[in-house]
Amino acid sequence: MKVLLRWSVEKVKREKIFLLSLFLGLFLVAFVVLTLGNMFYQQAEDVGGLIAAATDPVVLKAIGISLSMALASTLIAFLFGVPLAYFLARKELWGKSIIEGIVDIPLMIPHIVAGIALYGVFMRYGLIGAPLRRLGFVITDAYPGIVVAMLFMSFPYLVNSAREGFKGVDPRLENVARSLGASHWRTFREITFPLAFPSLLNGAILSWGRAISEFSAVLVLAYYPISAPILIYEKFTSFGLRASRPISVLLISICLVIFVVLRVLHRRSK
Amino acid sequence: MIEVKGLYKDWKEFSLKKITLEIKKGEYFVILGPTGAGKTLLLETIAGFYIPDKGEVRIDGHEVTELPPEKRNIGFIYQDYSLFPHLTVEENIVFGLKLKKSSSPDTNRKRVKEIMDRLSISHLAHRYPSTLSGGEQQRVAIARAIAIEPAILLLDEPLSALDPRTRDYLREELKRVREELGITMVHVTHDQTEALILADRIAVMMHGRIAQVGTPYEIFNKPLTDEIADFVGVENIVRGVVRSNEQGIAEIEVDTGTIFAVSEYPAGEVKVCIRPEDIILSESRGESSARNVMRGRIKELHDMGPLTRVKMDTGLVALITKQSRENLGLQKGDEVYATFKATAVHVVR
């Protein structure tokens, strides 16, 4: 209260642009808080429903699938995305902006369209699906299908964040490390990678969060085994809000805890 | 020894054109030139960070043109120090040592301690670079570079980002490093005084080409072209002999009299350098704290826009404003006193 009282007229005048910015910005913050807060509040009146959901093996399995498949997707994105990001950050070549444009495509197309395109490629008779099936691998309506859909929709977040991270590492630091006798690979391992790591972790967090939330593309490619967003949708269309809400609250709560932990780690790594 | 032959390189807005240089073993070689001349690109190409489009680089007789930097046994120091921000001072210095075949934790620790003592940075061992001042960071960068005992030390504007006091101090430090280690130093700068004081030889670089190579005396007294003369500025360089030195003030005998200078040299032949803008002209011998007063006649007055260059019969050149010239009513043949402080005199061997 003391702090508020110290706001004199002069101070308000001097800071008016910031006050206006804050006022307008709070609109978006309130948007998120109100929506989720309302859902949690309503659920609080139905604790029984929440407990039932939290002990339902179908629900737990669906959430488990979502978290673990998203983790698999993020690891694959990391494995291939980090090298791509390093290359894009360091090398100039003709057509580089084309590669960067292609990387951004999944961010721009409707997810349902991406799902249909993926289905065309990975279905049993698809371009990649057919040869894989001959080798005994089935993608659609199986765990790999979930990962494929998540990966396609989420890897650009990782690549873009990692690329900016690598760009932020001064090439002169790499030059000095080389002059001190470190090979290119060793320089990457001991200088470039650790310095870019906060951005890589940030990209991985974004990518993982995006993967969990993917619905449309997963719906088309792998309705089963049923993952959390699809289970929530199924409950909503069949039994309504009361049935779908507890699973939503559960999923969000778990994700929030993991996000907070990762954000703290991210901060530390800086 | 470093030999550069017919080197060409285009990179971004910079280019090197037909660079040929020979830098002797143990020499302090300064590449002097205005911003954008391609000095840094040349240094980085010698280091192996870039492969030239044409031409070759040899170190101690071995061709290294396409050899990666880690195999060249060089030390490199940048203007902004480029310390690894995620490592402590000690870890920065030991970085190169750990990569050596002969390395062991014990010998490394000993060597790091020895180098930190030499550069008086032992008290910073466990600090991170972001907590250090510019001068401290540069001392760490020097320590890190010399720790691996390179054959060559390449320095890219190493003193430019420092305040004048620290710059003077580190300039002496660099001289000391060269004298103690006998290492070949290649130092890039746009600062004429720095080149004058440090260099055994200077290469003036302009528009991606080497315009002139010579001793500081040759470069500043006999510039090959007007452009070089314009860039290096007219310096007063006089040969002299140190007669005595009391508490860091040297008494130096020159043709036209005696000059007092702040210098460590106890005796012997030296060159005395005074910047024209550091010389004050007056009609009478007034009282002042400046140690040096020389009487002489004006031989030439040269109009240079807002400034006037005054050449005296003693050989000294002074730079004064047009306003001062008018106030004093200076004419050719007038007798004037030239005054300058002992701290404005740079003494080099």
Q: With CA atoms as reference, report the closest residue to B260 among B319, B347, B193.
A: B347
| pLDDT exceeds cutoff 90 at B347 | no
Residues from chain A contacting residue B150 (CB–CB below 8 Å): 179
Chain A partners of B75 at a C-beta cutoff of 8 Å? 179-180
Residue A118 has pLDDT above 70, yes or no: yes
Which of A25-29, A113-117, B29-33, B255-259 is predicted least confidently? B255-259
Which residues of chain A are within 8 Å of residue B100 when distances are taken between CB atoms? 181
Chain A residues whose CB is inside 8 A of the B96 CB are 180-182
Instruction: Give the Cα separation of B95 and B80 in Å (integer).
Output: 18
Torsion angle of alpha carbons A19, A22, A23, A25, nearest 10°? Answer: 160
CATH 3.40.50.12590 for domain B234-348: no
Residue of A173, A183, A186 lying closest to B82 (CB–CB):
A173
Length of chain B: 349
pLDDT at B102: 79
- Flag whether pLDDT at B273 surpasses 90: no
Distance CA B206, CA B33 (A): 6
pLDDT of residue B43: 96
Q: Tell me what the mean pLDDT of segment B284-308 comes to.
A: 85
Cis peptide before A225 (omega within 30 of 0): yes
Within 10 angstroms of residue B169's Cβ, the number of other Cβ atoms is: 13
Q: In this predicted structure, what is the pLDDT of residue B58?
A: 95
Helices (H) and strands (E) in chain A, counts: 15, 0
pLDDT of residue B306: 83
As a whole number, mean pLDDT of residues A130-151 equals 94
pLDDT tens digits along B168-189: 889 989 999 998 899 999 999 9
Q: Is the pLDDT of residue A4 over 70?
A: no
- Helix H, strand E, coil C: the string for B209-243 is EEEEEECHHHHHHCCCCHHHHHHHCCCEEEEEEEE
Cβ-Cβ contacts under 8 Å, B47 against chain A:
175, 179
CB contact under 8 A, B47 and A195: no
Among candidate residues B82, B45, B144, the one with its CA nearest the CA of residue A191: B82
The residues with which B209 forms a beta bridge, in sequence order, are B206
Of B97, B177, B82, the closest CA to residue B130 belongs to: B82
Interface contacts A/B by beta carbons within 8 Å: 62
Residues of B in contact with A180 (CB under 8 A): 70, 75, 95-96, 99, 144-145, 148
pLDDT (tens digit per residue) in A222-252: 999 999 999 999 999 999 999 999 999 999 9
CB B14 within 8 A of CB B208: yes
% of chain A beyond a pLDDT of 90? 84
Q: Which amino acid is at B48?
A: G
Query: What's the mean pLDDT when you consider all of chain B?
Result: 90
- Which range, A1-5, A29-33, A256-260, is most confident? A29-33
Residue from the list B75, B80, B86 with its beta carbon closest to the beta carbon of A179: B75
Residues of B with Cβ-Cβ distance to A195 under 8 angstroms: 84-86
Q: At CB < 8 Å, which residues of chain B contact A?
A: 44, 47-49, 68-70, 72, 74-76, 78, 80, 82, 84-86, 95-96, 99-100, 144-145, 148, 150, 154
Q: What ranges make up the beta strands (E) of B74-227?
A: 74-77, 152-156, 184-189, 201-206, 209-214
Contacts of residue A36, defined as CB under 8 A and 6 or more positions apart, other chains included, come to: A252
pLDDT of residue B3: 94
Q: Quote the minimal CA–CA distance from B186 to chain A in Å.
A: 15
Q: What are the tens digits of pLDDT across the range A178-217?
A: 999 999 999 999 999 999 999 999 999 999 999 999 999 9
Percent of chain B, pLDDT > 70?
99
User: Angle A179-B190-B347 (CA atoms, 0-180°, nearest 5)?
Assistant: 100
Q: Is A47 exposed, middle or buried (0-12, 13-18, 19+ CB in 10 A)?
A: exposed
A175 or A270, which is more confident? Answer: A175
Helix (H, G, I), strand (E, B) or coil at B80: coil
The nearest alpha carbon in chain B to A172 belongs to: B82
Q: Which two tokens stand for residue B231?
A: 């860039």
Q: Is ipTM over 0.90?
A: no
Shortest alpha-carbon distance between residue A173 and chain B (Å): 6
Tokens 């720095």 found at: B194
Q: CB–CB of B292/B249 below 8 Å? A: no
pLDDT at A154 (0 to 100):
97
| CATH of span B2-227 | 3.40.50.300
Mean local confidence (pLDDT), B117-124: 93
Q: Each residue of B59-84: pLDDT tens digit? A: 999 999 999 999 999 999 999 999 99
- Report whether pLDDT(B278) > 90: no
Q: Where are the domains of chain B?
A: 2-227, 234-348
Q: Which two tokens stand for residue B243?
A: 């007669």
Residue B182 in contact with residue B200, Cβ under 8 Å? no
| Position A5 confidence tier, pLDDT thresholds 50, 70, 90 | low
Distance from CA of B84 to the nearest CA of A (A): 7
Q: Which residue of chain A is at minimal alpha-carbon distance from B49?
A: A175
Q: Between A172, A181, A184, which is nearest B82 by CB?
A: A172
Chain mean position to CA A77: 11
What residues of A are in contact with residue B86 (Cβ under 8 Å)?
A: 194-195
**Beta strands B268-274 and B345-348, pairing class:** antiparallel
pLDDT of A58 higher than 90? yes
C-beta separation of B305 from B270 below 8 A: no
Which of B45, B59, B70, B156 should we substitute to test contact with A (largest number of A Cβ atoms within 10 Å)?
Answer: B70
Span of A170-179, A251-260, B21-30, B277-286 with lowest mean pLDDT: B277-286
Per-residue pLDDT reduced to its tens digit, B109-119: 999 999 999 99
Q: Residue A191 gets which letter from DSSP?
A: I
- pLDDT tens-digit readout, B83-96: 999 999 999 999 99
Q: In whole angstroms, what is the distance from residue A235 CA to residue A49 CA?
A: 13
Contact B310, B318 (CB under 8 A): yes
The enclosing H or E element of B346 equals strand B345-348
Tell me how far apart the 2 most distant CA atoms of chain A are, in Å.
76
Single out the residue of B274, B270, B271 nearest to residue B236, CA to CA: B274
A27-36, A175-184, B158-167: range with lowest mean pLDDT: B158-167
What pTM did the predictor assign? 0.82
Query: Distance, in angstroms, between B76 CA and closest chain A CA?
Result: 6
Instruction: Tell me which residue has tokens 């004037």.
Output: B336
The band of B103, judged by pLDDT with boundaries at 50, 70 and 90, is: confident
- pLDDT value at residue A251: 93
pLDDT value at residue B218: 86
Give backbone dihedrals phi and psi of B206, rounded to 5 degrees, phi first.
-145, 135
Helices (H), A171-227: 171-179, 184-187, 193-213, 216-221
Given a contact cutoff of 8 angstroms between Cβ atoms, the answer to whether B195 and B32 are in contact is yes
**B contact test, residue of A180, A195, A197, A199 with most B CBs within 10 A:** A180
Structure token digits, residue B220: 């500043």
Sheet architecture: strand order including B2-11: B14-23, B2-11, B54-59, B62-63
Helix (H, G, I), strand (E, B) or coil at A179: helix
Residue B274 confidence (pLDDT): 85
pLDDT at position A6, please?
Answer: 64
Residues of A in contact with B142 (CB under 8 A): none
What's the gap in Å between the CA of A210 and the closest CA on chain B?
30
A195/B82 touch (CB, cutoff 8 Å), yes or no: no
CB atoms within 10 A of CB A170: 16
Q: Do B148 and A180 touch (CB under 8 A)?
A: yes
What local confidence, expressed as pLDDT, does residue A37 receive? 94
Question: For chain B, what is the radius of gyration of the CA atoms?
Answer: 23
User: What's the whole-number average pLDDT of chain A?
Assistant: 92
Per the CB < 8 Å rule, is B47 touching A170?
no
